[in-house]
Amino acid sequence: MLISVFVSIKEIVSRGREFPWPRPDACPRCNGHRIWGHGFVAAFFDGFSCQVLLRRYRCPDCHCVLRLRPSGYFKRFQATIDTIRSSIAFRLQNGRWPQGLSRARQGHWLRSLRRKTLAYFGQGWKGRLLEGFDCLSRINEIPVSRRI
* DSSP code string of the chain: -EEEE---HHHHHHHGGGS-PPPPSS-TTT--S--EEEEEEEE--TT-SS-EEEEEEE-TTT--EEEEEETTB-TT-SSBHHHHHHHHHHHHHHSSPPTTS-HHHHHHHHHHHHHHHHHHH-GGGTT-HHHHHHHHHHTT--TTSS--
Q: What is the average per-residue pLDDT within 56-70? A: 96
Span 71-83, mean pLDDT? Answer: 94
Q: What is the mean pLDDT of residues 94-99?
A: 95
Alpha carbon distance 75, 144 (integer Å): 11
Beta bridge partners of 46: none
Give the per-residue SS3 of 102-123. Answer: CHHHHHHHHHHHHHHHHHHHCH
- CA 30 to each of CA 25, 61, 62, 77, 134: distance values in angstroms, whole numbers, following the listed order: 12, 8, 7, 27, 31
Question: Is it the case that residue 148 has pLDDT exceeding 90?
Answer: no
Tell me the pLDDT of the chain averaged across its residues: 94
| Count of C-beta atoms within a 10 Å radius of residue 21 | 17
User: What are the pLDDT digits (tens) for 14-46?
Assistant: 999 999 999 999 999 999 999 999 999 999 999
d(CA 107, CA 109): 5
Quick one: pLDDT at residue 126? 87
Average pLDDT over residues 53-80: 95
3-9 average pLDDT score: 93
User: Residues 98-135: pLDDT tens digits?
Assistant: 999 999 999 999 999 999 999 999 998 988 999 999 99
Task: Give mean pLDDT, residues 83-89.
Answer: 97
